[in-house]
C-alpha cells in the first residue's frame, strides 16, 4: 500500500481553489434551509443553514452551500459529541476535524471555520469534542475520536459518505490525535483508522517534548498521569512516531518554523519516520509562522495556501481513492 508522493499541487490548482474558497459575495450570508436533511442520532437539535460561525466569514461563501447539524451524541459523557457540516454537493468523503487546547481545553466550536470551509469543498466535515485532561487521562481523548470515526462509518451513508473515505484534520493537540488515528490500528478494531490525515503543529514525540519546558512537562503529566521518568513506555505509546510502519495511511504535516510551543523538530521527526517506511507524506513548513497560524487564514495568503494544500491532500487520498482499499 505504501508509495512515494508522486505529485504536488500545481500553482493553477491552488489559485483556482483559493478563489473558490475565498470568493467574496458582498452581503451574502447562508440562508435557512427550507428542508434540512434528516439523519440518524441527531437528537433534538435541528439542522440549520451554516451561518459561518466566525464573524470574518460572514460575507464569504465556498462553492458548496453548507448546513450545520449539531447535537450528535457519541457516548454517555457530555463531551463525547459531534456536529456535522453538510455540503449541498457531497464528494463522498468525510473529514473528522479535531480541536486543540493541550488536551485540557478547547471545544469543537473552535474548528467551526475549518469545518465549514472543508464542507464548502464537498467534504462531510465532522467537528468532534473529546474528554479532557487532567480529569480524563490518556487514551480517553483518542478513544472519543475513535467513537466519532466509527459513528461516521455506521451513519455516514445517510449523508452521502462512501465506505472507507474518512480522513482527519487536527490542530495542535488535535493534530496529534489526527496523526494517531492514521498511524495506530488499536481498539476498537472495526475500522477506527482513518484513510488520510493532516496534522497542524501537532506533537509526534512526547518523550522528547516532555523535557522542552516546565510548561510542556506539566501539560503532559496532566495528560498521561505521571512524569516521563516514571512512565516512558506510556509516553512512547502516546507518540505518533512510535507507531509508524509501512502499512500506514498518508499523513500531511503542516508546521510553523517559528513555533516555540511545538518546535519544528516534532514535524521533521515524523516526516522522516514516514519517509523511511515509504508512507506517503508531505511536510509543509511555513518558516515565518508560529503556533496556531491557521487563525491567520483570512489575512495571510501563505496560510490560506497551506490550508488549500490540505484540501488537495485530502481530496487526493479520500476522493480520488489511492488508499481506499482495505480501509473499510
pLDDT over 70 percentage in the chain: 77
271-310: pLDDT as tens digits: 999 999 999 999 999 999 999 999 998 888 899 889 999 9
pLDDT digits (tens, 9 = 90+) for 130-171: 999 999 999 999 999 999 999 999 999 999 999 899 999 999
Helix (H) or strand (E) holding 83: strand 81-87
**Local structure of 182: helix, strand or coil:** helix
* Percent over 90 (pLDDT), the chain: 69
- Specify whether the CB–CB gap between 234 and 226 falls below 8 A: yes
CB 184 within 8 A of CB 241: no
The pLDDT assigned to 298 comes to 81
pLDDT of 5: 33
Mean of pLDDT over the chain: 83
Q: What is the tens place of the pLDDT at every residue in 44-75?
A: 466 665 544 444 443 334 568 889 999 999 99
The CATH number of domain 42-319 is 3.30.930.10: no
Strand order in the sheet with 166-171: 48-49, 66-73, 81-87, 124-128, 94-98, 166-171, 196-200, 251-256, 281-286
Q: Where are the domains of the chain?
A: 42-319
DSSP string, 29-58: -PPPPSSPPP-TT-TTPPPEE---SSGGGT
Amino acid at each position: 500500500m505504501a508509495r512515494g508522493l508522486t505529485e504536488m499541487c500545481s500553482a493553477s490548482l491552488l489559485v483556482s481553489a483559493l478563489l473558490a474558497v475565498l470568493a467574496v459575495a458582498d452581503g451574502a450570508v447562508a440562508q435557512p434551509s427550507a428542508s434540512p436533511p434528516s439523519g440518524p442520532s441527531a437528537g433534538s437539535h435541528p439542522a440549520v443553514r451554516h451561518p459561518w460561525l466566525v464573524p470574518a466569514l460572514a460575507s464569504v461563501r465556498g462553492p458548496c452551500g453548507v448546513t450545520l447539524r449539531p447535537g450528535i451524541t457519541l457516548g454517555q459523557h457530555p463531551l463525547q459529541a459531534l456536529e456535522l457540516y453538510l455540503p449541498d454537493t457531497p464528494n463522498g468523503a468525510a473529514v473528522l476535524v479535531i480541536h486543540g487546547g493541550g488536551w485540557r481545553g478547547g471545544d469543537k466550536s473552535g474548528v467551526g471555520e475549518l469545518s465549514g470551509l472543508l464542507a464548502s469543498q464537498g467534504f462531510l466535515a465532522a467537528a468532534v469534542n473529546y474528554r479532557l485532561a487532567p480529569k480524563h487521562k490518556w487514551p480517553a481523548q483518542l478513544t472519543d475520536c475513535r467513537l466519532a470515526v466509527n459513528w461516521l462509518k455506521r451513519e455516514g451513508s445517510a449523508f452521502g459518505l462512501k465506505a472507507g473515505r474518512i480522513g482527519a484534520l487536527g490542530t495542535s493537540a488535535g493534530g496529534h490525535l489526527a496523526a494517531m488515528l492514521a498511524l495506530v490500528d488499536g481498539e476498537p478494531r472495526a475500522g477506527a483508522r482513518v484513510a488520510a490525515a493532516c496534522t497542524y503543529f501537532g506533537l509526534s514525540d512526547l518523550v522528547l517534548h516532555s523535557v522542552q519546558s516546565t510548561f510542556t512537562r506539566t501539560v503532559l503529566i496532566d495528560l498521561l498521569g505521571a512524569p516521563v521518568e516514571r512512565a516512558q513506555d506510556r509516553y512512547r505509546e502516546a507518540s505518533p512516531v512510535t507507531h509508524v510502519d509501512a502499512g500506514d495511511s498518508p499523513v500531511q504535516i503542516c508546521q510553523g518554523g517559528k513555533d516555540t510551543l511545538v518546535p519544528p523538530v516534532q514535524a521533521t521527526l515524523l516526516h522522516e519516520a514516514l519517509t523511511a517506511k515509504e508512507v506517503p507524506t508531505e511536510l509543509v513548513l511555513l518558516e515565518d509562522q508560529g503556533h496556531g497560524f491557521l487563525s491567520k487564514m483570512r489575512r495571510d495568503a501563505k496560510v490560506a495556501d497551506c490550508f488549500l494544500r490540505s484540501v488537495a491532500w485530502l481530496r487526493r487520498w479520500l476522493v480520488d481513492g489511492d488508499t481506499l482499499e482495505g480501509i473499510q
